[in-house]
Amino acid sequence: MAEIRFLLNGEPRTVTGVPPTTTALDWLRLDARLTGTKEGCAEGDCGACTIVIGQPAGERVNYEAVNSCLMLLPQLDGASVLTIDGLAAADGALHPVQQALIDADATQCGFCTPGFAMAMFAFHHGGEGPEDTCIHEALAGNLCRCTGYRAIVDACRRVASGPSDRFATAGARAAATVAGLSACTDYRHREQIYLAPRNLDELLAATGRHPDALIYAGGTDLGLRVSKDREAFPCVISTAQVSEMQEIASDAHALTIGGAATYTQALPHLDVHFPEFGALVRRIGSRQIRNLGTLAGNLANASPIGDTIPCLMALDASVTLASRSGTRTVPVDEFITGYRKTVLAPGEVIAAIRIPLMSTGQQFFAYKLSKRFDQDISTVIAAFRLALDGLTVREIRTSYGGMAARTMPAARLEAALTGRNWRDVTQAEIDAALASDFTPMGDHRGSAAYRRRAAANLVRRLQLETTTRVLTRVEAL
């Protein structure tokens, strides 16, 4: 029987006899009896369950905050796991993060405090500065129901600009210990199987043996089926450790992002080549979510409001699909065939996503409308790739989410705009073209009338941003 091995607050732990669809949060609270970590929403939104995962990075450990409510227990294998219970030293001396929260009077009722402390710990070890933008992004995945954010931000500012704690000085020893843990690639409990192949050949062999298995990347969406619905998956195949699928590369023609690369790993590359795409990814979810979630997972879910899909479509991205039969390449706009339906065949996985770099004169824009600016599900999302010759629309590529059963281009809008003087295009023409392209549904996020109006207004916003100096971005005001 294979065993799950990891460090828990510096102490080696070996786990057997636990169902693989046990959440990390449940195991910590119920089995390890480390009840400092809390359950709030059980869907990766409130951050009360935040823990920190450390992975070797040379002679140091790279610490990242994650939502333990969404993680399956085997995802902890081979990591250094830190919880609020392990921050203070053995003699009771508080960690600088804990002391800062006390000194800033930032604890209030205390329920959310453990999650904030762990998010601050990861921020502390990231070496970021005390600027508000850095702090707000670091804490965006944690909700304080007492609305004590000012004091919490003050506490976070006190621990900015790099680590100075015992975890930093013990980094080499911890990295060596974690690196020495044997990998668990096949974990079983009764009828449940969790496979964690280390390379693409092993992955395809596993999908060949288990064509009906659930392919699991970060689990930030699929994990809800465990945390909320308490599903017990018969077979899970994790892609997270597949070496080839973690690769990110760019050349003169395209950026290629491996199917197992997380949002956090992809962001620096998106910022270089597609900064608007990078800005949108930061709104998809908190750092806790981005440290686990993947672009490939978002694409495979095929949700009509999946945030990355309009961007990938508008940029003419393609996916490399791999199986034991070989590989094939499919344009993203052909990959999704209907509501949460794709061309993926049994035993097939998204090995990589290829995004062509933009040519001279092309511009890219991505707009998301949601009830909350950060970490909220989209009501309408639109992405545009535009090329102008003077004021003439030489080329426009559009893609909308939230307007149909799947993400789709606005073909009639593209035809109506191409070759036109961009300034001469009227709101009425935009409205008419989009009315021909989409018949949106209404739901609790927005009525059909709102979606029609919003979709057209986003085109008008694009028009103003590319032809005038009018400030149209709410986030920039």
Tell me the CATH number at 112. 3.10.20.30
Q: Give the residue from 309, 329, 357 where a domain finishes.
A: 357
Q: Same domain, yes or no, for 461 and 314?
A: no
Looking up residue 452, the CATH number of its domain turns out to be: 3.30.390.50
pLDDT at position 473, please? 62
Task: State the residue range of the domain holding 426.
Answer: 362-477
Q: What end-to-end distance do the CA atoms of the chain give, in Å?
A: 58
Q: Same domain, yes or no, for 460 and 476?
A: yes
Residue 119 placed within a domain: yes
Q: Give the residue from 325, 357, 389 where a domain finishes.
A: 357
pLDDT at position 477, please? 43
Q: Same domain, yes or no, for 198 and 114?
A: no
pLDDT at position 475, please? 58
Q: Same domain, yes or no, for 387 and 450?
A: yes
- What tens digit of pLDDT does each residue of 88-119 get? 999 999 999 999 999 999 998 999 999 999 99
Residue type, 264: T
Using the CB atoms, write b or e for 38-77: b if 16+ within 10 Å.
Answer: bebebebbbbbbbbbbbebeeebbbbbbbbbbbbbbbbbb
Q: Same domain, yes or no, for 156 and 52?
A: yes
Q: Same domain, yes or no, for 384 and 255?
A: no
pLDDT at position 182, please? 79
Residue 185 placed within a domain: no
Q: Same domain, yes or no, for 370 and 298?
A: no
Residue 394 placed within a domain: yes
pLDDT at position 177, please? 78
Residue 225 placed within a domain: no
- What tens digit of pLDDT does each residue of 396-454 get? 999 999 999 999 999 999 999 999 999 999 999 999 999 999 999 999 999 999 999 99
Residue 114 placed within a domain: yes
With a cut of 70, which residues of the chain have pLDDT below it? 1, 171-172, 175, 470-477
Q: Same domain, yes or no, for 172 and 43?
A: yes
Q: Same domain, yes or no, for 251 and 351?
A: yes
Cα-Cα-Cα-Cα torsion 332, 429, 454, 358, nearest 10 degrees, comes to 40
- What tens digit of pLDDT does each residue of 272-286 get? 999 999 999 999 999
Domain count within the chain:
3
pLDDT at position 227, please? 94
- Both tokens of 154, joined, read 């003050």
> Cα–chain-centroid distance for residue 206?
25
Q: Same domain, yes or no, for 125 and 203?
A: no
Phi first, then psi: give them for residue 412, nearest 5 degrees. Answer: -70, -35
Q: Same domain, yes or no, for 37 and 72?
A: yes
Q: Same domain, yes or no, for 327 and 434?
A: no
